[in-house]
Amino acid sequence: MATWKLLLLQDSASPLMEQLSFFHDHTLLILVIITILVGQMMSGLFFNKLTHRFLLEGQMIEIIWTILPAITLIFIALPSLRLIYILDETNNPAISIKTIGHQWYWSYEYSDFKNVEFDSYMIPIQEMKSFNFRLLDVDNRMVVPFLSQIRMIITAADVIHSWTIPALGVKVDATPGRLNQTSFTSSRSTILFGQCSEICGANHSFMPIVMESIAPSFFIKWISKMIEI
């Protein structure tokens, strides 16, 4: 969960987010090295008094400053392309969940089970308990088993929304009349928070997402209880 003093990415809760964090650190290291080199060269130009009146061209240095940026871009592009394929990869999912965005709440349908669907509204400040998080907790959490492949099918009923949980590395637009798909695997038992990431109206900030990842045995008990209801 993000806090007010968090400067870096949230702790990873899925293998995908671990890869995204690695790519972030990899790219940031390259940017820091480039910044230091360019800063050193600029300071050298400003503060030294060396001149060369007869230096009109330098083919070797031009070759170097053309090839080095190209090599740098390759080092950034290759991990990026690998991540694109990982993001689109969908193995045999254990569970498929359909998510529908509304103004201003989310609906969840567990398509593999009969009559398991519910709406998820933000808990108003007046009804919060001492353990609830302000503007983040909901009355009905989406529950999934950890270490299981989950497929999300996401759409919207009115305007464009965006279903986002940063700790999972998942952000998918919910578009009316269109089904978007993503998949993820929660790597541990946890409660994850997210929010709509597409401006969708007056209460855009008040439609949070809460996902509870639990052991498969507890998930079976939960889903059995939901079917009975």
pLDDT digits (tens, 9 = 90+) for 133-152: 888 899 899 999 998 999 99
Split at pLDDT 50, 70, 90, the class of 120 is: very high
pLDDT at 142: 93
Ordered by start, the domain boundaries in the chain are 15-47+57-88, 95-228
Calpha distance 141→157 (Å, rounded): 20
Split at pLDDT 50, 70, 90, the class of 112 is: confident
pLDDT at 6: 74
Split at pLDDT 50, 70, 90, the class of 57 is: confident
Q: What single-letter DSSP state applies at residue 190? A: E
Please state whether the predicted TM-score (pTM) of the whole model is above 0.85: no
CB atoms within 10 A of CB 111: 13
pLDDT at 1: 63
pLDDT at 2: 67
CATH number for 95-228: choose from 3.30.565.10, 2.60.40.420, 2.60.120.10, 3.40.50.150: 2.60.40.420
* pLDDT for residue 51 is more than 80: no
Calpha distance 184→189 (Å, rounded): 14
Spell out the residues 6+ positions from residue 183 whose beta carbon is closer than 8 angstroms to its own.
Answer: 89, 90, 91, 93, 149, 150, 151, 152
Spell out the residues 6+ positions from residue 45 whose beta carbon is closer than 8 angstroms to its own.
Answer: none
Asked if 167 contacts 13 with a C-beta cutoff of 8 angstroms, the reply is yes
User: Which pLDDT tens digit goes with each residue over 29-46?
Assistant: 999 999 999 999 888 888
Percent of the chain with pLDDT over 70: 98
Burial of residue 93, with CB atoms counted within 10 A of its CB: 0-12 exposed, 13-18 middle, 19 or more buried: middle
* pLDDT for residue 187 is more than 70: yes
pLDDT at 90: 76
pLDDT at 138: 92
